[in-house]
Amino acid sequence: MKRLDIFGALKKDMDVIEKELYRSIEGDDQQLTETSLHLLKAGGKRLRPVFVLMGGKFGNYDIDKLKYIAVPLELIHSASLVHDDVIDDADMRRGKPTVKSKWDNRIAMYTGDYIYGKALTLTTNLNNPEIHRILSKAMVEMSIGEMEQIRDFFNCNQDVRRYLLRIRRKTSMLIAVSCQLGAMAAEADRVVSSSMYRFGYNVGMAFQIQDDLLDLCGTEKQIGKPPGSDMRQGNITLPVIYALQEPELGQRLLKEIERIHALNGQCDVSEAVGMIRSSTGIARSEVLADRYIRKAIDALDSLPDIKTKKQLKDIAHFVTKRSY
Amino acid sequence: MKRLDIFGALKKDMDVIEKELYRSIEGDDQQLTETSLHLLKAGGKRLRPVFVLMGGKFGNYDIDKLKYIAVPLELIHSASLVHDDVIDDADMRRGKPTVKSKWDNRIAMYTGDYIYGKALTLTTNLNNPEIHRILSKAMVEMSIGEMEQIRDFFNCNQDVRRYLLRIRRKTSMLIAVSCQLGAMAAEADRVVSSSMYRFGYNVGMAFQIQDDLLDLCGTEKQIGKPPGSDMRQGNITLPVIYALQEPELGQRLLKEIERIHALNGQCDVSEAVGMIRSSTGIARSEVLADRYIRKAIDALDSLPDIKTKKQLKDIAHFVTKRSY
């Protein structure tokens, strides 16, 4: 999925967010400012801020309020990525060297802590304790999701439900909360903010499934890192779980994953990737992603018919537009 | 410094805090609950909660409010410790195995993130945005302090000022904020909360200097880990900076530190520790710690004469009571 550049109307405000993002992590410490800036400049789709602003369109849209949600959400997402990279021992992300590879693990860890702190400092500009509560709970859920991911590394016995629960915590929740808090900060109707939550949750699920598909089916240029990274790391994603369910191929794949596990992922994984690509796992995962997108679009039904509603639909479709 | 058990009057409420601490980290994830509990049960002096409660005594003392400051502050402190242990590659803390040694670095990292999130969730029970602001800023400062510490590892060119700035961020600020927020949450006078801040800040400085002295002069039993850990790690503390200023001994010590650095701390450090102990660095550090204690006690001058004031003086003196 490419950067979201489909929102002409939001463009100006997203420029504000981009500037605020950079400003937010400036501080006394040159090293932390530099590593944080490196992380933010590596880019990303800014999906969470976009959703915050779009959520805001259903209420009293005020960029000067919404930025205190949008920027922290992107910061929290970024902080989780930098901690992820330490865990994953990742050298590249989005086609750029990671903080942990350009500097080191220790710097990556404190960069994450620093960015979390900066995110929370910004949110204190809003006097709504419920927003803080939702945000901090999402942080807790995210760390649980990350932990579950570690625990399930190379676990070939997990079922689809376990995978879905994990990505719910790891990814969807923060996207759901972005949609919800945008509406809440704009004092939109409670029905609206909970519909937005449901929209974000389902888009987030589809988005993560799609991302996991891309890691198997995309090119290095598309992904920004070598394909099969999840496999090397032992991250058993949805297409893998489905592929493992196939009687003959499943057995061969299991053996191959065990070999990769034994070598701690320090080996060629193209055979395993090839098996999964030739399995029904890809198509079945696509079906599930599409089902989440449909649910996301359904969640929009109760929303007033403003232009943003159409744009949200567009994003939903965009998330599962396959380029591989 | 031993556990603070000098406060009969506060004992009952500290039991409440202790229970709330354990309850606060319970959650859906067994692993994270277990590692967090391990961390909290390893103990500690609970200095920050004690100061919160004592700060509260100068206003409308209400344990049901104060706990939402006291527990998060201890949690933030604990989260920073578990992240520290990853950086320091520490196997022992307070005489118990660290999370990173009992489990692994990845688990330690997410345990820290989880506890930070839980801490912030708890504070949302209080509807005072200024408290959130102060707390999140303290978190940012702490991560800067930690980063400065990494950067200054094995840096023998640093002066006393640099050391003091670093421990201010790393330690004193959170203790200062504990004292201040306790008073603020109890709606004490602003003069009181800023005096409490100054008290905490100065006690915190003395406390860290004392802790650094203990690492050089204490026994393994007193410290809970082998003496000279700071030296092995390259953490150049106040007594070392002073010792390096001595003409002849300073030169020998510099060479020894360079040797330890070259071996990445994987060596016997007793010679360096011996040199520092025989230098004027110990006595000069003690003088500075005592000066901070005096400043802490001066900060109490403007406070009303309640029993807590006397107890705060007792703690201040207790901090620099030397057992080595």
Q: How far is A201 from chain B (nearest CA, A)?
A: 20
- The C-alpha of A314 sits at a distance from chain B's nearest C-alpha, in angstroms, of 33
> In terms of CA atoms, which chain A residue is nearest residue B108?
A147
B277-to-B59, B236, B283 alpha-carbon distances in Å: 44, 14, 9
Q: Is A198 within a domain? A: yes
On the question of pLDDT at B151 being above 60, the answer is yes
Q: What residue of B is the nearest CA neighbor of A83?
A: B109
Per DSSP, B305 falls in state -
Q: For residue B152, give how far its alpha carbon lies from the nearest alpha carbon of chain A (Å).
A: 12
**Interchain CB distance below 8 Å, A143 and B110:** yes
B chain contacts of residue A152, beta-carbon cutoff 8 Å = none
Residue with the larger pLDDT of the pair B23 and A323: B23
**Residues A286-306 pLDDT 10s:** 999 999 999 999 999 999 999
Task: Please list every residue in chain B whose beta carbon sits closer than 8 Å to the beta carbon of residue A121.
Answer: 133, 136-137, 140
pLDDT of residue A5: 55
Which member of A107, A109, A146 has the closest CB to residue B83?
Answer: A109
Please say if the pLDDT value at position B78 is more than 70: yes
For residue B137, being part of any structural domain is answered with: yes
**Are β-strands A96-97 and B92-93 bridged in parallel, bridged antiparallel, or unpaired?**
unpaired
Average pLDDT, integer, range B93-108: 75
Give the pLDDT band of residue A147 (cuts 50, 70, 90).
confident
What is the rounded CA–CA span in Å between residue B206 and residue B319?
7
pLDDT at position B1, please? 44
Q: Let me know: does B180 contact B196? Beta carbons within 8 Å.
A: yes
How close are the terminal C-alpha atoms of chain B, in Å? Answer: 10
- For residue B103, being part of any structural domain is answered with yes
The band of A28, judged by pLDDT with boundaries at 50, 70 and 90, is: confident
- Judging contacts by C-beta atoms under 8 Å, the chain A residues touching residue B113 are 80, 83, 112, 116, 139, 142-143, 146
Of A86, A59, A70, A90, nearest to A17 (Cα)?
A: A70
Which of A83, A107, A151 is opposite residue B113, by nearest beta carbon?
A83
- Residue among B117, B142, B143 minimizing CB distance to A136: B117
- Residue B53 C-alpha, separation from nearest chain A C-alpha, in angstroms: 23
What confidence score (pLDDT) does residue B224 get? Answer: 79
As given in the structure block, the two tokens for residue B240 are 């070392």
Contact between A203 and A293 (Cβ < 8 Å): yes
Percent of chain A with pLDDT over 90: 68
- Which of B113, B142, B146 shows the shortest C-beta gap to A143? B113
Contact B113/A139, CB-based, under 8 Å? yes
Question: What pLDDT, on the 0 to 100 scale, is given for residue B88?
Answer: 66
d(CA B68, CA B108): 24
CATH code, domain carrying A128:
1.10.600.10
**Confidence class of residue B216 from pLDDT cuts 50, 70 and 90?**
very high
> Which of B31, B140, B151 is opposite residue A121, by nearest beta carbon?
B140
Residue A180 forms part of a structural domain: yes
The whole-number pLDDT of residue A132 equals 87
How far A320 CA lies from chain B's nearest CA (Å)? 30
pLDDT at B27 over 90: no
Number of domains in chain A: 1
A146: nearest CA partner in chain B: B110
- Within 8 A of B129 by CB-CB distance, chain A residues are 124, 126-127
Interface of A with B (CB under 8 A): 27-29, 31-32, 80, 83, 86-87, 105-107, 109-110, 112-114, 116-118, 120-121, 123-124, 126-127, 129, 132-133, 135-137, 139-140, 142-144, 146-148, 150-151
Exposure letters B25-60 (e unless 16+ CB within 10 A, then b): bebebebbbbbbebbbebebbbbbbbbbbbbbbbbe
Among B36, B71, B89, B120, the strongest candidate for a mutation testing the A interface, having the largest count of A CBs within 10 A, is B120
Q: Please compute the mean of the pLDDT values over residues A39-61 and round it to a whole number.
A: 92
Which residues in chain B are contacts of A162 at CB distance < 8 A? none
Please say if the pLDDT value at position B237 is more than 90. Answer: yes
Q: What count of CB pairs under 8 Å joins A to B?
A: 129
By Cβ distance, the residue of A31, A110, A148 closest to B29 is A148
pLDDT for the residue numbered B182: 97
- What are the chain A neighbours of B146 within 8 Å (beta carbons)? 110, 113
Question: Is B324 a domain residue?
Answer: no
Specify the length of chain B in residues. Answer: 324
**In the predicted structure, residue B257 carries a pLDDT above the cut 60:** yes
B207 and B182 Cβ atoms separated by less than 8 Å? no
User: Residue A63 pLDDT > 50, yes or no?
Assistant: yes
Structure tokens at A168: 């719910």
Question: How close is the nearest chain A Cα to the Cα of B162, in Å?
Answer: 13
Question: Which residues of B sit within 8 Å Cβ distance of A?
Answer: 27-29, 31-32, 80, 83, 86-87, 105-107, 109-110, 112-114, 116-118, 120-121, 123-127, 129, 132-133, 135-137, 139-140, 142-144, 146-148, 150-151
> A96 pairs with which residues across the strands?
A93
Structural domain including B23 reads: 3-319
Question: Domain for residue A291, yes or no?
Answer: yes
pLDDT at B15 over 50: yes
**What's the rounded mean pLDDT across residues B263-267?**
91
Instruction: Decide if B4 contacts B50 (C-beta within 8 A).
Output: yes
Mean pLDDT of A265-274: 94
- Measure CB to CB from residue A117 to each of B28, B124, B140 and give the nearest one: B140
Tell me: pLDDT of A74 over 90: yes
Select from A106, A191, A230 the least CA-distant residue to B153. A106
Domain presence at residue A324: no
Task: Tell me which chain B residues have a C-beta less than 8 angstroms from the C-beta of A142.
Answer: 113, 117
Residue B169 lies in a domain: yes
Is B140's CB within 8 Å of A148's CB?
no
CA distance linking residue B27 with residue B34, whole number of Å: 10
Give the pLDDT confidence score for residue A207 in this predicted structure: 95
Give the pLDDT score at A1: 44
- The better pLDDT of the pair A75, B97 is held by A75
Tens digits of residue pLDDT in B105-114: 888 888 999 9
CA distance A272 to chain B (A): 26
